[in-house]
Each structure stands twice: as structure tokens, then as C-alpha cells.
Chain A
Amino acid sequence: MHHLKIVAVILAMVAPAMAARPANAAQANVAVAANFTDAANEIQAVFARSTGHEAVLSFGATGQLYTQISQGAPFDVFLAADDERPALAVSEGYGVDGSVFTYAIGQLVLYSADASGVVGAETLRAGAFQKLAIANPSTAPYGRAAVEAMKALGAFDSLETKIVHGQSIAQAFQFVETGNAELGFVALGQVSQMGSGSRWIVPQEYYGPIKQDAVLLKRGEDNEAAIAFLEFLKSEEATAIIRKFGYEAGL
């Protein structure tokens, strides 16, 4: 009897929250590449307001998220940080054919929490620092772009021993923000809204373009919210937010 009472109390607390959602509202689980965290949070809020649907966001490195998807993770939509994994998802049978599109083109930034920490390419060549944070190149496209840029600048060999890997671009950014690494390669989308620190936007010719593709996953094929979320991502409202965070979008 006692247990029933507890259940009743819990139901009484939860029921109003459940009733508050519109009758036709659905929910989609969205796997989001870590660099897109801030933009995705803002888009999620606007999406909820304008459609009544709910997008539940999970963040991680693109490679990590892909591994999870390949092992049956309950995601309906995948916002990757490259154009490889979404294509792979379709060819391996996890993604819906024809649903892939580029929602953003990212830019790589050399960032320091210190206002005078980064001047430009010469900061890398001078090497007057102890630790340089990047995202794990084998799972995070921005990490791979960072390695490409250092190689193109001829600075990779001298910097290799100073590199520390974050599990995702979010951890790499955190290492720089906490001051444990003086410098880091991060996404412009992570730092564009910040007033502090110093940054150098790495010219695009030094690394392969970071085309960030989205894909509808098989699990979300019939999910109204998942389909609506991808449509919303292409809308003027969403692309304005994406551009605000320093990506190219809506091309």
C-alpha cells in the first residue's frame, strides 16, 4: 500500500507537466557534434516554441556519436561535424537515403583565454607555450582539421609533443578556458559569442573544408519531430542563428 501511495504522489507531480505539452507534440533525440553545442541549444529553444515539438540533444565528438549510432543508440537525427559520417551512416544502413544535407560550414580557430595569447600563425611557429589543446583527431573533425592546419603551416613536427587531446572539441575548449593549456584549436562557433580571450581564424586554405552534414536516422524515419527538426534546420530562422555563431549556412 505504501508503495502505491508513493507512485500516486509521483504521478500527481508528473501529470501536469505531461498535460502541458500540446496533444500532437512529439519528441526527437538528436545527436549533436560538440562544436555545435551553443547554436544547437538556441535552435532547440526556438524549435520548441514554434513547433511545440521537443528535441532532446546529446553532445559528443562526431566519431563517438557515430560509434554509438552504429551500436543502436536511440537517436533520430545526427548533426555531424563532417560530411563523412552522415554519408557512412546512409551506406551502412543507419541513415535514411536522401536525407543528408549540409547545415553548416565550420571554421577552425586558434584560441587563447589570454587577451594577448594569440596573434596569428606566428604564435604557432614561435612555440612559446607548453600545451596546445586539440580535439581527438581520430574522432573529431575539428581535431583532424587542426592537425592539417599545423602540417600546412609547417609547425606540426615542432608542436607534436605539446599537443593534448580533448575527447571532443568541448573538452579541448575547456582545457584552454581553465588555463591548463595556453592555446587550443577550437571551432569559431564555440568562441564567436565571447568577448574575452584572443583568437586567430585559421584561413580556409590550410585545412579541408569542415562541411557539417545532418542526416535523418532510420529510427527517426517516422518521427514527426525528427523530420520537423531537420526541416526547421533549413529555415531562415535557424540559419540566422547558425550564422550568428560564426558558421556559414543556408547556401
Chain B
Amino acid sequence: MALFSIGGRALSDELWSPIWLTIQLAGITTFTLLIVGIPIAWWLAWSTSRWREVVGAIVALPLVLPPTVLGFYILVALGPQGLGGWFGHLAGVRSFAFTFEGLILGSVISSLPFMVQPVRNSFEAMGRRPLEVAATLRASPWDRFVTIALPLALPGLLTGAVLTFAHTIGEFGVILMIGGNIPGETRVLSIAVYDFVETLRWREAHILSVGMLVFSFVVILLVSLLARKSKGRAL
């Protein structure tokens, strides 16, 4: 699969496989978190429960916890003695560690705040007023959510999606602990770079790293542009 070439030399499968795997992982994680994260962000924005900030703090935990702590608990949870073994029994596998599905779970947990925070912020910035106006016009709750709230929160959704995608691509510690470094299954970009560096194959490490550098710069730029745009809207 030599779609691109660098310095006249085609990129080998050894390089392509982790790139493609990482894009898949980030894409699926972002999609999953859009579905899981929006309701959580909505609840955090509007709930009057006294548990609101407790839940908010739990959601934010992956921002502060060392990846090794997350990786440790996820490894135990995925294993035969944990939930992974329980579900695995149904699916006929022993453990979800060392599987692509296991990586998705790990990434969803560790990227949760990157989706929920920006979305919650834009729900809160929007305020209750647009929804109340729509309610007086007899829009149903679902209608209000889909036609008013989501479009108004679009910058937050985009920021959350971009950050989640980017953070998953940059994820390293958790995957190192639960992945098992299997080509085509769990050897993602960051692990491949680590491996190439450790085995002194710096040409390959450079190719992947330069790509990551450019990608990360574009992401940060994109997020700041989105943030400007959403500020413009709020005014």
C-alpha cells in the first residue's frame, strides 16, 4: 500500500499499518464519545442535582490521573477476573486486553473529558433562554435539543471531536499497558515510534514523528480558530 512516498522511498506496511490503525481507533473513539459524551455534557450543564460537580470531577479525572494508573485499572477490568472476562465469556474470549476493542474502551475513558468539557461549556454558554423561547412555541424537548441546542453548541461539539480525535492519536501510556504491541491490532502510532526508537531504527521513527508533529500543529491551530469563532457567536 504505497500511496505516499517520502524521499522517493515508498512507505512500507510496517509504517502504514500503525498509521491506519491509529486513524481507525481515533475515529471510532470520537464517534463513540459523541454518543456517550453529549448526554453527559447536557446533564452536567443543566442538572440541579447536588451530585453534579461530583460527576463532573469523575469525568475530569483522566485529565489528572497518570496514564499508568488508568492503564492499571483498565488492564485489571479487561482481564479474566474483571468485567472483560465476564463479557468475554459471552463472546468466547478470555480477556479484552490485547484487542482493538480493549483499546477503544481505554481510549474512550481516557479521552472522556476532552469531549465532555467543551460540549458542556458551549451548552452553558448558550443559556436556557433559546430553549425556553422554543418551548413557548410548542417545540417538543427532543425538537428543542436537535434543532436549537445542538446547532448552537456546534463549535463546542467540533472542538470536542477534534480534541478527542487528536488526544486518542497521541495516547501512549494506557495503550502501552493494555495493548501488547500486536501489529495490525494494537500497535498504534505512538507505540510504533517507541519501538523504532528503542531498536535504533531512527529513520522510521523520524518519518512517523514528523507526521505527528505536523498533524498536532494543525489540530491546535484548528481548535484555536474554532474557539475564536465560538467567541464571535456568543457576542
Enumerate chain A interface residues (CB-CB to B < 8 A): 61, 63-64, 67, 70, 130-131, 133, 136, 138-139, 163-167, 175, 178-182
Partner of B79, one of A64, A138, A167, A179: A179
Counting CB contacts under 8 A, is B67 at the interface?
no
Give CA–CA (A95, B95) in the complex, Å: 43
Q: Do A179 and B180 touch across chains, with their CB atoms under 8 A apart? A: no
Q: Do A67 and B200 touch across chains, with their CB atoms under 8 A apart? A: yes
Q: Do B80 and A180 touch across chains, with their CB atoms under 8 A apart? A: yes
Partner of B98, one of A64, A67, A136, A180: A180
Q: Do A164 and B93 touch across chains, with their CB atoms under 8 A apart? A: no
Give every chain B residue within 8 A of A167 (Cβ-Cβ): 176, 181
Give CA–CA (A70, B198) in the complex, Å: 11
Give CA–CA (A178, B82) in the complex, Å: 10
Give every chain B residue within 8 A of A131 (Cβ-Cβ): 94-95, 98, 180
Give CA–CA (A139, B199) in the complex, Å: 6
Give CA–CA (A130, B89) in the complex, Å: 13
Q: Using a CB-CB cutoff of 8 Å, which residues 57-104 of chain B contact chain A?
A: 75-76, 78-81, 85, 93-95, 97-98
Give every chain A residue within 8 A of B79 (Cβ-Cβ): 178-180
Q: Do A67 and B197 touch across chains, with their CB atoms under 8 A apart? A: yes
Q: Do B199 and A181 touch across chains, with their CB atoms under 8 A apart? A: no
Q: Is the interface of A mostly helix, strand, loop or mixed?
A: loop
**Interface digits, B171-213 against A, CB 8 Å rule (1 contact, 0 not)?**
0000010001110000000000001011110000000000000
Q: Do B195 and A136 touch across chains, with their CB atoms under 8 A apart? A: yes
Q: Do B199 and A180 touch across chains, with their CB atoms under 8 A apart? A: no
Give every chain A residue within 8 A of B198 (Cβ-Cβ): 61, 63-64, 67, 139
Known: A61-B198, A64-B198, A180-B79. 6 other contacts (CB 8 A): A136-B195, A139-B199, A163-B182, A178-B75, A179-B94, A180-B98
Enumerate chain B interface residues (CB-CB to A < 8 A): 75-76, 78-81, 85, 93-95, 97-98, 176, 180-182, 195, 197-200
Q: Do A67 and B180 touch across chains, with their CB atoms under 8 A apart? A: no
Q: Do B199 and A165 touch across chains, with their CB atoms under 8 A apart? A: no
Give every chain B residue within 8 A of A67 (Cβ-Cβ): 197-200
Identity of the chain B residue whose Cβ is nearest the Cβ of A164 in the assembled complex = B180
Give every chain A residue within 8 A of B98 (Cβ-Cβ): 131, 164, 175, 180-181
Partner of A164, one of B80, B181, B195, B197: B181
Q: Do B181 and A165 touch across chains, with their CB atoms under 8 A apart? A: yes
- The minimal Cβ–Cβ distance linking A12 to chain B, given in whole angstroms, is 31
Identity of the chain B residue whose Cβ is nearest the Cβ of A61 in the assembled complex = B198
- The minimal Cβ–Cβ distance linking A146 to chain B, given in whole angstroms, is 14
Q: Do B93 and A130 touch across chains, with their CB atoms under 8 A apart? A: yes
Identity of the chain B residue whose Cβ is nearest the Cβ of A182 in the assembled complex = B94
Interface centre among A61, A139, A181, by most chain B C-beta atoms within 10 angstroms, is A181
Interface centre among A67, A163, A180, by most chain B C-beta atoms within 10 angstroms, is A180
- The minimal Cβ–Cβ distance linking A171 to chain B, given in whole angstroms, is 8
Partner of B182, one of A70, A130, A164: A164
Give CA–CA (A164, B200) in the complex, Å: 21
Identity of the chain A residue whose Cβ is nearest the Cβ of B76 in the assembled complex = A178
Give CA–CA (A163, B180) in the complex, Å: 9
Give CA–CA (A217, B76) in the complex, Å: 39
- The minimal Cβ–Cβ distance linking A60 to chain B, given in whole angstroms, is 9
Give every chain A residue within 8 A of B195 (Cβ-Cβ): 136, 138-139
- The minimal Cβ–Cβ distance linking A230 to chain B, given in whole angstroms, is 25
Identity of the chain B residue whose Cβ is nearest the Cβ of A130 in the assembled complex = B94
Identity of the chain B residue whose Cβ is nearest the Cβ of A68 in the assembled complex = B198
Q: Do B199 and A63 touch across chains, with their CB atoms under 8 A apart? A: yes
- The minimal Cβ–Cβ distance linking A141 to chain B, given in whole angstroms, is 13
Give every chain B residue within 8 A of A133 (Cβ-Cβ): 180
Give every chain A residue within 8 A of B197 (Cβ-Cβ): 67
Q: Do A136 and B181 touch across chains, with their CB atoms under 8 A apart? A: yes
Q: Do A180 and B75 touch across chains, with their CB atoms under 8 A apart? A: yes
Give every chain A residue within 8 A of B75 (Cβ-Cβ): 178, 180
- The minimal Cβ–Cβ distance linking B171 to chain A, given in whole angstroms, is 16
Give every chain B residue within 8 A of A180 (Cβ-Cβ): 75, 78-80, 94-95, 97-98
- The minimal Cβ–Cβ distance linking B192 to chain A, given in whole angstroms, is 12
- The minimal Cβ–Cβ distance linking A185 to chain B, given in whole angstroms, is 14
Interface centre among A61, A63, A64, A178, by most chain B C-beta atoms within 10 angstroms, is A178
Identity of the chain B residue whose Cβ is nearest the Cβ of A64 in the assembled complex = B198
Identity of the chain A residue whose Cβ is nearest the Cβ of B85 in the assembled complex = A179
- The minimal Cβ–Cβ distance linking B75 to chain A, given in whole angstroms, is 6
- The minimal Cβ–Cβ distance linking A129 to chain B, given in whole angstroms, is 8
